[in-house]
Amino acid sequence: MQGFCFCSANFTISPNPSHTNLNIIYNTLQKQELSIYDVIGKVVFKDQWLPNQTEKTIDVSAIPKGVYFLRVGGGVKKVVVE
């Protein structure tokens, strides 16, 4: 996907694929934007990652099944919602 760098994604996602919740583990000292994009680049979820927050759970049960891209700060990882 254009504009996304998959090389600097220093966070973990589980489970992936997911049916209901995504658990994200990430450690940063800065506020970061957290977004989920569909394959055409449309934002389907948006939130903030707060400084010193290490874990976040996102409910993806309302997101249609498919392949998405989770972006936290400058890193991106592929996410599958089943």
- pLDDT tens-place string over residues 5-42: 555 678 999 999 999 999 999 888 888 899 999 999 99
Domain assignment present for 7: no
For the whole model, what pTM was predicted?
Answer: 0.86
Domain assignment present for 4: no
What's the rounded Cα separation, in Å, for the pair 39 and 79? Answer: 11
Domain assignment present for 59: yes
Residue 1 has a pLDDT of: 47
CATH of residue 69: 2.60.40.10
Domain assignment present for 66: yes
Domain assignment present for 77: yes
From the list 51, 73, 69, the residue with the least C-alpha distance to 60 is 69
Domain assignment present for 75: yes
φ, ψ for residue 30, nearest 5 deg: -120, 155
Largest CA distance in the chain: 33
Domain that holds residue 35: 12-81
Does the pLDDT value for residue 75 go beyond 90?
Answer: no
Tokens of 20: 């209901």
Structurally, the chain folds into a number of domains equal to 1
